[in-house]
Structure 1
Amino acid sequence: MFLTVNQLQVRYGQQGQAAVDGVSLGLRPGEIGVLIGPSGCGKTTLLRAVAGLERVSGGSITLGGETVSDASRHVPAEQRRIGMVFQDYALFPHLNVGRNVGFGIAKLPTREREARVAEVLKLVGLEGMQSRFPHELSGGQQQRVALARALAPNPRLLLLDEPFSNLDVDLRERLAHEVRGILKAANATALFVTHDQLEAFAIGDRIGVMHEGHLHQWDDAYALYHRPATRFVAEFIGHGVFAPAQIGMDAGEVTVQTPLGPLRDLEECPLPSAYEAGLCEVLLRADDIVHDDHAPVKAQIVRKAFRGSEFLYTLRLASGETLMTHVPSHHNHALGEWIGIRAEVDHVVTFARGGNASSPPAPAAARH
């Protein structure tokens, strides 16, 4: 691993409240990691600790084989060779693009510095814009200048703190894809903080979900969505609900009884013995629920959100349970209308009833 965070703790105040508590993660050279979670979860504090802007209370941070932080050692931020990109860009308004990008390499000979500035501006798609000033650029262009400035000194690690939060929603996801391409072209190792899942999915090789100072899961996007490590991850990532269920056996086959009827022919499912009497809660995501006019189960539309190509419907069954489903936008049903639905679930994720945020799902038994 190029970056290793091991059982990291960062505490604040006289009471020693842990903003980051026992976090471990790693990044290989050239990998992009993303930290995501609600406000106050500790993701920015963790980023600042890696940068050297916060002292750690326990655990360690190792960068390129060198321990830069532990309880007794703190390498100053300016000695870590880390580049940072902030959400407000922090560009100097009185300096043109070329001088902004070259700020961190001012000690290089003029010709070498100018060549490096031109090189990183080309990398970020702003070739030949050295003479422009920040106020003459769009928000997306300013963000690229900030990225070029951070890349110019060839940092060992790049840290990005919610760099797209000041941009409009449509631009954020597109720029996240573009920034991923830039970082991959530069072979940069990067750690990125965001609260936006689409950004995280667009840019990250590894994504960490944080809650109340703890890292619940450090994995790729597919695993976070389909194999959440805790109840909190299951709830935080994607759209879904927890529905009451009971796991049982029928003719030697594991079935899961849900408010939508039994789920059968499952690739992965816990055995009934995972829970007392098989009683549990099953995670049903919006893409597990299919609108089908001919289905025997009906649900009432209680909320609808237009997403362009689709609606996200919140539904209520006659029994009172709430579900969510994605429906193509030409199926424009009215609030209060009843529609047919059925479940299409490949593998089942279940949790103990009444579990807390850290509760893990029951392990799935592969189908024989």
Structure 2
Amino acid sequence: MFLTVEHACVSYPGSGAAKAAVQDVSLVLRRGEIGVLIGPSGCGKTSLLRAVAGLERLAAGRIVIDGEVLADAAGGVHVSPEARRIGMVFQDYALFPHLSVEANVDFGIRHLPTAQRRARTLEVLDLVGLAHAAKRAPHQLSGGQQQRIALARALAPSPRLLLLDEPFSSLDVDLRERLAQELRAILKQAGTTALFVTHDQMEAFAVGELIGVMHRGRLEQWDDPYTLYHRPAARFVADFIGHGVFAPARIVAQGVPEDGHCNCIVRTPLGDLTDVAECPMPDAYPGGECEVLLRADDIVHDDAAPVKARIESKAFRGAEFLYTLRLASGEKLLAHVPSHHDHQIGEWIGIRPEVDHVVTFQRGGD
């Protein structure tokens, strides 16, 4: 593994061990991979990023990059930030307004010979699509272009790891999504290993090959985006990622388990779910009573379906509506419905479940 974080803890003076900013976090990145840390404000994602950068000392654990121990709390090791060969891109760009785009980018490589420095500067500007703007001032460019200048400046010294702390949060939503896709393409073309922090799920899915969801200083799950969405390992992850609700359910055994897998069904207000190969056995919950995660894309609008739900609210999203629905039995559901199905609030529509991955949790759990 290229980047290894082992049982990392970060505490601030007066916070106490129970309120440490980062608690027992472990993760790995292979060379050239892009990882993303996501979570609500105050969850510890930026503190962890700063610990990797060397801006915060570990209270426990260790950090290793490419075989070199950069931090080891037990051994008293703490390599200074400037000696770690790590690049950083911040939210506020931190560009020098009095310097040209080219001069901003070559600021960190002025130790190189002039010809080599200029060649490298133009190389990374070309990589981010701004070679044509080399002689211009940063204020003459858009916010998205300025962020790409900051990226080029961070890439110029060829860092072995690039850290990005909410680099697009000051930009508008449409621009953020486009830049996130561009960022991934740039990093993959450069072969750069990167760790990215954001609170925006669309950014995380657009950029990350591995995504970690943090909550109260802990890393709840570190996985590829598909697994994170469809097989959340913790209730917080299931609730934080995507749109969905937890509906009451009961796991019912159907004969003898096969190869240790559940031979059962999950009874829900929408009917029985049968694709339950990865569900726990009924005895995992008292009486088999649990809650099932039903995402908005698990609920299909079907006028012929026997189950009806009342539309409580709807949000137009261009190609689709996000409907908030209520069953006659009182349970709330969410559903993505094509926008040409423009039903009115208060109307009853037919729905059916189409759940490929049945995920259950203990009732009333955190």
Residues 213 and 220, structure 2, Cα contact 8 Å, conserved in 1: yes
Aligned length: 356
User: Separation in 1 of the partners of 2:61 and 2:23?
Assistant: 9
Q: Deviations over 1:220-247 (max 9, x none)?
A: 0001011111110011111111000011
Mean CA deviation greater in 244-253 or 86-95: 244-253
Aligned to 1:366: none
Matched, 1:129 2:133: yes
**8 A Cα contact 1:268 1:346, kept in partner:** no
Q: CA deviation at 1:266?
A: 4.3
Name which of 38, 56, 59 aligns with 1:36.
38
3-state SS in 2 of match to 1:233? helix
What is the distance in 1 between the residues matched to 2:124 and 2:110? 15
1:243-282 equivalences under 5 Å are 243-250=247-254, 254-282=264-292
Residues 1:210 and 2:210 are matched in the alignment:
no
Partner of 1:77: 81
Equivalent positions of 1:56-71 (< 5 A) are 56-71=58-73
Partner secondary structure for residue 11 of structure 2: strand
The amino acid of 1:264's aligned partner reads T
Give aligned-pair identity as a percent: 72
Q: Deviations over 1:329-355 (max 9, x none)?
A: 111111121111111112310011121
Q: Residue 174 of structure 1 is aligned with which of 171, 175, 178?
A: 178
**1:288 maps to which of 298, 301, 322:** 298
CA distance in 2, matches of 1:107, 1:250: 71
SS of residue paired to 2:150: helix
Q: Which amino acid aligns with 1:6?
A: E
Shift of 1:249: 3.4
- C-alpha separation in 1, matches of 2:356 and 2:264: 13
Q: Which moved more, 1:200-209 or 1:124-133?
A: 124-133
**Could you tell me whether the CA contact under 8 Å between 1:103 and 1:149 is conserved in 2?**
yes
Deviation track 1:100-138 (CA, whole Å, cap 9, x = no partner) reads 000000111111111110000011111232101111101
Write the distance in 2 (CA, Å) between the matches of 1:266 and 1:107.
60
Supply the distance in 1 between the matched residues of 2:332 and 2:277 (Cα, whole angstroms). 25
Which blocks of at least 5 consecutive residues in structure 2 are unaligned? 257-262
Following the alignment from structure 1 to structure 2, what is the Cα–Cα distance between the partners of residues 51 and 251? 54
2:365 to 355, 362, 368: 355
How far apart are the structure 1 equivalents of 2:275 and 2:150? 52
Shift of 1:255: 1.5
Which of 314, 321, 332 does residue 311 from structure 1 map onto? 321
Alignment correspondent of 2:260: none
Q: 1:165 to 1:265 in 2, by over 3 A?
A: closer
Quick check: 2:147–2:167 contact (8 Å CA) kept in 1?
yes
Query: Are 1:149 and 2:153 matched, yes or no?
Result: yes
- 1 CA distance for matches of 2:295 and 2:172? 27
C-alpha distance after superposition, 1:199-219 (max 9, x if no partner): 111111110000000000000
Q: Which residue in 1 is equivalent to 2:205?
A: 201
AA partner of residue 67 (structure 1): V
Deviation (angstroms), 1:250: 4.8
Distance, in Å, in 1 between the alignment partners of 2:78 and 2:225 is 33
The offset of 1:267, in angstroms, is: 4.8
Partners of 2:275 and 2:357 within 8 A in 1: no
Superposition deviation, residue 90 in structure 1 = 0.7
Bigger shift: residues 271-280 or 224-233:
271-280
Partner of 1:337: 347
Q: Is the 8 A contact 1:156 1:189 kept in 2?
A: yes
Secondary structure in structure 2 of the residue aligned to 1:181: helix
Aligned to 2:193: 189
RMSD, aligned α-carbons = 1.2
Alignment check: 8 A CA contact 1:118 1:128 kept: no
Structure 1 gap segments, 5+ residues each: 357-368
Q: 2:93 aligns with which of 67, 89, 94?
A: 89
Q: TM-score, normalised by structure 1?
A: 0.94
Task: Tell me the distance in 2 between the aligned counterparts of 1:269 and 1:210.
Answer: 24
Distance in structure 2 (CA, Å) of the matches to 1:15 and 1:250: 51
**Deviation for aligned residue 1:273:** 2.4
Q: In structure 2, what is the Cα distance between the partners aligned to 1:152 and 1:264?
A: 53
User: 1:360 corresponds to which residue?
Assistant: none
Alpha-carbon distance in structure 1 between the residues aligned to 2:278 and 2:21: 36
TM-score using structure 2 length: 0.95
